């Protein structure tokens, strides 16, 4: 699909400098631009690329003034905030790529499943008994929805998502490929003979509105009750949330974070990649946890934690500085020890 500079300027309320009728059919970074592509310039350190870019249109801040000749084929669209306007166009472009409402075949739909309006259901999807799906939901091929699953309005389930029985997904959520919601929590009781007996996991998972979950992440169902992901939570790829965990509103987790069973994560918490949270503890609102940190105890007040076990970041930096000097310190101690022995002999 093609758009002219004039059409784009109308969407983002920009001023055109150049050919208003030039058309683009895709997006590109300014340093990788080619004919027919739309780019943007916001950060001054990338300005050098605008003088050689092959893009046909570039969105710039209205304060931008060229210091060199621009390519003759380049049309500028000036706006107050180039970054924000480009993000607006990305959202518009992504919306244009969404599937049109239809139900593809082959797919399985239980007779008592309930659908809203404007549904897209991809081929090979499986919709089980008593499933309820809201309006404008997009369900891509090979999605599985277990018995009694609820999906809210405007939610997108990408290919390969699996949602086990009794789980609830809110409105305006995005679940990327490979996400598994409601698999069994890791519950096993040790036996006298050294083996383990499985504890049935009979709870569910509740995901509130406006949650996004990255590819191949897993959220386990509760042993009893619910594992809960609150409104506005954003999870990266390969995140593991164990049974009976509660993740507070607008908390974010980067890739490969693991949260053990029954942990309670507060609101607006930020957790870096590969961090680990032990089970049955609480993390205070607005806490920040640096990547690869391990949190074994309750965090009772807002803090920035680093290391394993996690301690306040400034303390960790001081400790690490001391750790790096240990070889030097040990050498000095050995030298002093040798001098003491020499003095004693004398």
- Indicate if the pLDDT at residue 176 is higher than 90: yes
Residue 316: pLDDT band (50, 70, 90) is confident
- How far is Cα 150 from Cα 131, in angstroms, rounded to an integer? 6
Residues near 140 by Cβ (< 8 Å), separated by ≥ 6?
A: 99, 120, 122, 125, 156, 157, 158, 159, 160, 161, 177
pLDDT digits (tens, 9 = 90+) for 103-139: 999 999 999 999 999 999 999 999 999 999 999 999 9
- How far is Cα 52 from Cα 153, in angstroms, rounded to an integer? 45
Q: Which residue has the higher pLDDT, 295 or 325?
A: 295
Nearest CA among 3, 44, 43, 39 for reference residue 21: 3
DSSP letters along 86-114, please?
HHHHHHHHHHHTSPPSEE-SS-EE-TT-E
pLDDT digits (tens, 9 = 90+) for 180-232: 999 999 999 999 999 999 999 999 999 999 999 999 999 999 999 999 999 99
Question: Quick one: how many helices (H) and strands (E) in the chain?
Answer: 4, 40
| 164 contacts 181 by C-beta, under 8 angstroms | yes
Among 142, 176, 243, 280, the active-site one is 243
Instruction: Give strand pairing partners of 76.
Output: 17, 58
Q: How many residues would you count in the chain?
A: 346
- Catalytic residue list contains 243: yes
pLDDT digits (tens, 9 = 90+) for 24-81: 998 999 999 999 999 999 999 999 999 999 999 999 999 999 999 999 999 999 999 9
Pairing between strand 23-24 and 3-4? Answer: antiparallel
326's enclosing H/E stretch is helix 326-345
Instruction: Mean pLDDT check: name the lowest of 76-90, 141-155, 328-342.
Output: 328-342
328's enclosing H/E stretch is helix 326-345
Nearest CA among 90, 96, 95 for reference residue 38: 90
CA dihedral 196, 198, 203, 206 (to 10 degrees): 60
Q: Mean pLDDT score of the chain, rounded to an integer?
A: 94
Token readout for 277 is 């949270």
Residue 344: count other Cβ atoms within 10 Å of its Cβ.
Answer: 7
Nearest CA among 98, 106, 97 for reference residue 136: 98
Residue 199 CB-density burial (10 A; 0-12 exposed, 13-18 middle, 19+ buried): middle
Collapsed DSSP state (helix, strand, coil) of residue 243: coil
DSSP 213: E
Q: pTM higher than 0.95 for the full model?
A: no
Question: Taking residues 330-343, what's their average pLDDT?
Answer: 83
DSSP 148: T
């Amino acid at each position: 699909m093609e758009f002219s500079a004039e059409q784009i300027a109308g969407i983002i309320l920009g001023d055109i400098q150049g050919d208003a009728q030039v058309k683009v059919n895709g997006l590109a970074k300014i340093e990788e631009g080619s004919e027919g592509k739309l780019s943007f310039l916001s950060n001054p350190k990338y300005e050098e690329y605008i003088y050689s870019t092959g893009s046909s249109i570039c969105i710039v801040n209205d304060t931008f003034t060229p210091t060199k000749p621009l390519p003759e084929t380049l049309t500028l669209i000036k706006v107050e905030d180039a970054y924000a306007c480009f993000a607006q166009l990305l959202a518009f472009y992504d919306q244009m790529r969404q599937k049109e409402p239809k139900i593809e075949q082959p797919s399985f739909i239980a007779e008592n499943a309930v659908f809203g309006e404007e549904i897209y259901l991809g081929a090979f999807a499986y919709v089980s008994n008593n499933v309820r799906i809201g309006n404008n939901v997009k369900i891509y091929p090979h999605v599985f929805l277990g018995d009694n699953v609820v999906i809210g309005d405007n939610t997108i389930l990408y290919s390969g998502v699996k949602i086990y029985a009794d789980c609830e997904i809110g409105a305006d959520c995005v679940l990327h490929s490979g996400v598994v919601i409601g698999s069994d929590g890791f519950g096993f009781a040790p036996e006298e003979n050294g083996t383990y007996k499985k504890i049935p996991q009979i709870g569910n998972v509740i995901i509130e509105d406006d949650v996004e979950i990255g590819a191949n992440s897993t959220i386990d169902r509760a042993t009893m009750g619910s594992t809960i992901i609150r409104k506005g939570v954003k999870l990266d790829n390969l995140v593991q949330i164990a049974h009976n965990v509660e993740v507070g509103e607008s908390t974010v987790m980067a890739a490969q974070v693991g949260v053990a069973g029954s942990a309670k994560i507060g609101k607006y918490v930020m957790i870096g990649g590969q961090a680990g949270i032990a089970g049955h503890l609480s993390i205070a609102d607005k806490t920040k946890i640096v990547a690869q940190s391990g949190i074994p105890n309750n965090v009772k007040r807002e803090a920035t934690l680093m290391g394993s076990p996690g301690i306040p970041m400034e303390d960790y930096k001081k400790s690490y500085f001391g750790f790096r000097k240990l070889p030097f310190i040990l050498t000095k101690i050995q030298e002093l020890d040798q001098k003491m022995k020499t003095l004693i002999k004398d």
